[in-house]
């Protein structure tokens, strides 16, 4: 088992994933965000190397051919991918890492990291999800409709995740995420990997 724990967080667009992950990272300094690569353009306030590594499509395909991605996906017309080597290096150092990816990426990650902790964030309803997407004001009507139409397909995979958080109230959902992270760290296999001296009497 890796010394660090890999947390994978997925959700339909508009469910509040980015907000909840941001609050989790502030509340738990032992978790570090993995910065993915994407071919989409930056949104207002997003900084290169912090939100994503923004690259063009030819560069993305070249990296994929070289086998540099742990997982990659084509979502809403854009490509996303996670650096495999860098992530493994961080976990070998004992760092807990967090990935924000869609359900397809979560499936790919689970093949390489079967002990990853997976968390799915649910909206309270599709109606509320649509309201949130329109409230952003950053996407045109066609994009909003595409995201709403794809949300149900994403939600159908919720049963593949370890923890499910319904984001009806932000503070409650934040507390649930902290609880999921803390509970996952108490599993025997993770405790033994991180604190071998405590369990040396079992060897």
CATH number, domain at 60?
A: 3.40.50.300
Q: What pLDDT does 153 receive?
A: 86
Sign of CA dihedral 14, 10, 87, 6: positive
The residue segments making up the domain with residue 93 are 6-194
Q: What pLDDT does 173 receive?
A: 97
Residue 92 is assigned to a structural domain of this protein: yes
Residue 1 is assigned to a structural domain of this protein: no
**Number of structural domains in the chain:** 1
Each residue of 115-169: pLDDT tens digit?
999 999 999 888 887 787 777 666 677 777 777 777 888 899 999 999 999 999 9
SS3 of 46-84: the string is CCECCCEEECCHHHHHHHHHCCCEEEEEEECCEEEEEEH
Residue 44 is assigned to a structural domain of this protein: yes
State the chain's mean pLDDT as an integer: 89
Residue 82 is assigned to a structural domain of this protein: yes
What is the C-alpha separation between 2 and 95, in angstroms, rounded?
9
Q: What pLDDT does 42 receive?
A: 93
Q: Averaged over 34-50, what is the pLDDT?
A: 91
Residue 201 is assigned to a structural domain of this protein: no
Q: What pLDDT does 169 receive?
A: 94
Asked if 83 and 68 touch (Cβ cutoff 8 Å), the reply is: yes
Q: What pLDDT does 55 receive?
A: 96
pTM for this predicted structure? 0.80
Residue 80 is assigned to a structural domain of this protein: yes
Residue 66 is assigned to a structural domain of this protein: yes
């Amino acid at each position: 088992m890796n010394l660090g724990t890999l947390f994978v967080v997925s959700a339909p667009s508009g469910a509040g994933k980015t907000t909840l992950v941001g609050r989790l990272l502030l509340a738990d300094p032992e978790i570090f965000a993995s910065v993915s690569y994407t071919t989409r353009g930056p949104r207002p306030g997003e900084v290169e190397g912090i939100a994503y590594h923004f690259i063009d499509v030819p560069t993305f395909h070249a990296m994929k051919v070289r086998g540099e991605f742990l997982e990659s996906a084509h979502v809403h017309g854009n490509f996303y991918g996670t650096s495999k080597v860098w992530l493994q290096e961080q976990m070998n150092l004992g760092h807990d890492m967090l990935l924000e990816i869609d359900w397809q990426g979560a499936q790919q990650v689970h093949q390489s990291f079967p002990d990853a902790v997976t968390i799915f964030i649910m909206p309270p309803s599709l109606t509320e999800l649509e309201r949130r997407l329109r409230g952003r004001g950053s996407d045109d009507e066609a994009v909003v409709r595409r995201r709403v139409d794809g949300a149900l397909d994403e939600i159908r995979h919720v049963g593949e995740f370890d923890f499910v958080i319904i984001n009806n109230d932000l503070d409650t959902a934040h507390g649930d995420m902290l609880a999921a992270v803390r509970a996952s760290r108490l599993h025997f296999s993770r405790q033994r990997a991180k604190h071998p001296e405590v369990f040396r009497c079992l060897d």
